[in-house]
Structure 1
Amino acid sequence: MPKRILQGTVTSDANAQTVTVLVERRFTHPVLKKTIRKSKKYRAHDEKNAFKVGDTVRIIECAPKSKTKRWEVLEA
C-alpha cells in the first residue's frame, strides 16, 4: 500500500527534531452541499530542525518514531 503524503503548515517547532503540522482538508457536505473545512494536527519528524513556524511542508507516513510521531517531513 502506498504511503500517504499530506501538505500543511508548521504550527510549532518547540520540540527537538519534531514539528507540529496543521493539515487542512475541504469537502462538500453530502446533504447541505456546503464546502466545509476541517483541520488536523500531525507531529512529524524533522531530523535537522530545518523547518520553522509558518513554513509549508509535505509530510509522509513512516514507521512509528515515538508515541505520537508517525510522519516524517518530506520537503518544504
Structure 2
Amino acid sequence: MKQVVGMVVSNKMQKSVVVAVDRLFYHKLYNRYVKRTSKFMAHDENNQCNIGDRVKLDPSRPLSKHKRWVVAEILRKARIYQPPSQENQVVSDKGKVSAPSTT
C-alpha cells in the first residue's frame, strides 16, 4: 500500500482520527471523471490533529478492528476562528460599550 493524503473529519476519539480521502477516476460509460471519497480511521498518537487538518497517512499493521493507518505528518493545520476577547463587556444598539446588567 502507499501513502495517502486526506482531510480530518472527526477527532472525537482518543488517539484516533477519521480521515476522508478523495480520488478521481475516469468512468468509461459516462465518459467523465467521477469523484469518490473513502473514510479511513488512523492512529494519532499525540492527539495533535483537529478537524479540517490536511494529513498524510502511512499504512501499518492492524491496530484495532478498524484502524490500519497512522498519521505520518500534518501537512496543513486548519484555520480556527477565535473571536476577539471582550471580557465582561456588552455592546448596546448604539455601539456603546457598557458593563453587563445584573438583573
On whether the aligned pair clears a TM of 0.5, the verdict is yes
Q: Which category describes the TM-score, using the shorter chain as reference length?
A: over 0.9
Q: How does 1:1-76 map to 2 (within 5 A)?
A: 3-76=1-74
Measured on the aligned residues, the alpha-carbon RMSD in Å equals 0.7
- Superposition misfits of 4+ residues, deviation over 6 angstroms: none
1:29-53: CA deviation from partner (whole Å, max 9, x where unpaired): 1222101000010000000000000
Q: Counterparts of 1:13 and 1:50 in 2: how far apart (Å)?
A: 9
Identity of aligned residues (%): 35
**Structure label with greater radius of gyration:** 2
TM score, norm. by length of structure 1:
0.93
Unaligned regions of 5+ residues in structure 1, if any? none
Q: Counterparts of 2:70 and 2:12 in 1: how far apart (Å)?
A: 16
Unaligned regions of 5+ residues in structure 2, if any? 75-103
Number of paired residues?
74
Which one scores higher on RCO, CA 8 angstroms, separation ≥ 6?
1
